[in-house]
Amino acid sequence: MKNKLWLFGDSFMSYNENWVEELARRTNCEVAHLGELGSSVQFLLIDLLNSMDRIKRNDRVLIGITNPARFYFNSKHYHSLWIEHKDKFNLRYYSGKKYSTEELNCLVEYLMHFYHPDQDDIYKSAIVSHIINIIFPRISANHKQYVFTIKPEPYIRERLNFIELRDNEPPSFMDTALKFLEETYPTDERVVVRHVFDNHLNGNNHWIDHPDYFNYFWKVYDEHFARLY
Amino acid sequence: MSKIWFFGDSYVSFKTNWVQELANRCNAEVAHLGVAGSSIYFLLLDLLDNYNTIDSHDKVVIAITSDSRWYFNKVHFMPHKDSEEWILNQSYSSEDMLNAFQYFTKYLYNVGDNVKFTSAIVSFILNVLLPKISTKQIVYHYTISPFPFQPKNNDFNVQTREYEPISFYEFQIKFLRKYYPEVDNPMEVLNRYKNHWLEHPEYFGEWWETYDLLFKKLYYEK
């Protein structure tokens, strides 16, 4: 029976395809758990706490730490970018999902009256610090790693110097994808993040559909994921 | 003269009774106080604003409050019906914010999840932030209850200490049952007093008997 590969995180690791499938092959594990689309570090905390007891010593664990501007409210994922302005939801994020009108209106009210990005970053940094410093070392798997899926900067700016990047910190998945796009499409317009997502990162796990991306990705992450092999 | 810093909620929000007594025992002047009705979220921000200015000879008391409180845009919130007026009376508050909070508690708030979020923040404060404060003379204690932060069968949250006296609120409930068995609503009684300090001839003695061991490192250690 194969050992298990547990992935916790967001949309960069929510399908057993492309790099996730390859990681399972390289670790000779079966994928037992995946991240969730649009999820937050609040959800990551809860997902880890709910799963800890089932992780075995020989399993592999990879944690993806997402951006702070997301929320987990009452068992549902929300994102500050999913609302463009008051009364205007970015409906593509909500189509097919079970959000009631009341919940969406509440989110608008929350963002209008309560959301303070700097303060929220601090709260989320404390959660990430707890995950890295307390939970991660206590995961019973011998082979484990964590990586930032989107830029770690919101967690490590001035006043929040409690999360120390490691000497050989893996680049975030987002940074790797953007760097690949810069090198591959040097004249393309990539000013707005959403534009990049729409045009290049809309595949499962935000995998870039380009023949060179597989090798590019593994050249970056092979050394960082080696501890999972 | 060294300073004593109090961080937390209404139990440490006035420079009087046990707060002043502790300062006297420590031969320190009170440099900072908690804020009534404040939350774990506010505690984190307040500590981050001040921890760099705490001197190595200073003393610090951290009063850890209930998990079910919030701090949004300079306003403190708690989800009790009778706290609406108190919320509206805060400087930066408004009817719109109160309405938004009512929606928040109805549709977005989940008790169990919020306990996990605030436990992670308490864990961060105790395990990561406190060691960065230059003084080692730091005492923390729970004002309402430690149990939400220390769930059974879950060693990933806040660790239980070897010596864990009952919370301030639990002490008061015990005291009220003993001396005022007729009281139905303890908070209504406790809210009349600064730092919720009960005016009763036995209170001072029983309080210090309960907490002397917890706080004595602040006045005996140099």
Give pLDDT tens digits for B142-192: 999 887 777 555 555 666 777 889 999 999 999 999 999 998 888 888 888
A114 and B106 within 8 Å at the Cβ level: the answer is no
Number of other residues whose CB lies within 10 A of the CB of residue B219: 18
Confirm whether A66 is domain-assigned: yes
Distance from CA of B162 to the nearest CA of A (A): 19
CB pairs under 8 A between A and B: 102
Q: Cα A72 to the chain's mean position, in Å? A: 14
Name the strand (E) or helix (H) holding A18.
helix A18-27
Task: Please write the tens of the pLDDT for every residue from B32-44.
Answer: 999 999 999 999 9
Residue B203 to chain A, least CA–CA distance (Å) = 37
Q: Token pair 């009763």 is at which residue?
A: B200
Q: What is the pLDDT of residue A87?
A: 60
Enumerate the β-bridge partners of residue B64.
B142
Rounded CA-CA distance B28/B60 in Å is 11
CB B47 within 8 A of CB B125: yes
Quick check: is A177 in a domain? no
User: Does residue A197 register a pLDDT over 80?
Assistant: no
Q: Is A75 on the interface with B (CB under 8 A)?
A: yes
Give the residue numbers spanning the domain of A24.
Answer: 3-169
Whether the CB of B127 is below 8 Å from some CB of chain A: the reply is yes
Q: For A206, list phi and psi in degrees, rounded to 5.
A: 55, 30
Look at A76-80, A225-229, B66-70 and tell me which has the smallest mean pLDDT.
A76-80
A113 touches chain B (CB under 8 A): yes
Q: Which residue of B has its CA nearest to A159?
A: B48
For residue A18, give the amino acid letter.
N
Element (H, E) at A6: strand A3-8
**Of B191 and A158, more confident:** B191
Domain assignments of chain B as residue spans, ordered by start = 2-220
Residues 6 or more apart whose CB falls under 8 angstroms from that of B155 comprise A138
Give domain status of residue A136, yes or no. Answer: yes
Burial-class residue B172 by CB neighbours within 10 Å (0-12, 13-18, 19+).
Answer: buried
- Judged by a CB distance cut-off of 8 A, whether residue A112 touches chain B is yes
Does residue A89 carry a pLDDT above 70?
A: no
Chain B interface test: which of A47, A100, A114, A163 (most B C-beta within 10 Å): A114
Of B72, B123, B125, the CB nearest to A113: B72
Partner A contacted by B44 (CB < 8 A)? yes
Which residues on chain A are in Cβ contact (under 8 Å) with B113? 42, 46, 72, 74-75
Judged by a CB distance cut-off of 8 A, whether residue A114 touches chain B is yes
Residues in contact with B52: Cβ distance below 8 Å, sequence separation at least 6, in sequence order: none
**What is the third-level CATH fold of B2-220?**
Rossmann fold (3.40.50)
Q: Give yes or no for B132 touching A (CB within 8 A).
A: yes
Q: What is the per-residue pLDDT for A81?
A: 74
Of all residues in chain A, the one with the smallest CA distance to B71 is: A114
The residues, any chain, with a CB within 8 Å of residue A153's CB and separated by 6 or more, are none
pTM beyond 0.90, yes or no: yes
**Does A159 sit within 8 Å of B120, measured CB to CB?**
no
The predicted pLDDT at position B46 comes to 97
Cβ–Cβ gap A45/B41 under 8 Å: no
Lowest-pLDDT choice from A49-63, A82-96, B120-134: A82-96
Residue A38 forms part of a structural domain:
yes
Q: Pick from B45, B72, B107: which is nearest to A114 by CB?
A: B72
User: Which chain B residue is nearest to residue A140, measuring alpha carbons?
Assistant: B156
Structural domain count of chain A: 1
* Residues of chain A with C-beta less than 8 angstroms from the C-beta of B120: 45, 126-127, 130-131
Chain B within 8 Å of A185 (Cβ-Cβ)?
Answer: no
d(CA A41, CA A50): 14
Percent helix, strand and coil across chain B, each to the nearest 5: 50, 15, 35
pLDDT band, very low/low/confident/very high, at A92 (cuts 50, 70, 90): low
Q: Which residues of A touch B99 (CB under 8 A)?
A: 109
Of A113, A130, A133, the CB nearest to B97: A113
Determine the distance in angstroms separating the CA of B221 from the nearest CA of chain A, rounded to an integer: 28
Binned at pLDDT 50, 70 and 90, residue A191 comes out as low
Judging contacts by C-beta atoms under 8 Å, the chain A residues touching residue B127 are 130, 133-134
Question: Chain B partners of A134 at a C-beta cutoff of 8 Å?
Answer: 123, 127, 156
Backbone angles phi, psi at A140, to 5 degrees: -70, -15
CA B162 to chain CA centroid, nearest Å: 20
Query: In this structure, is residue A70 part of a structural domain?
Result: yes
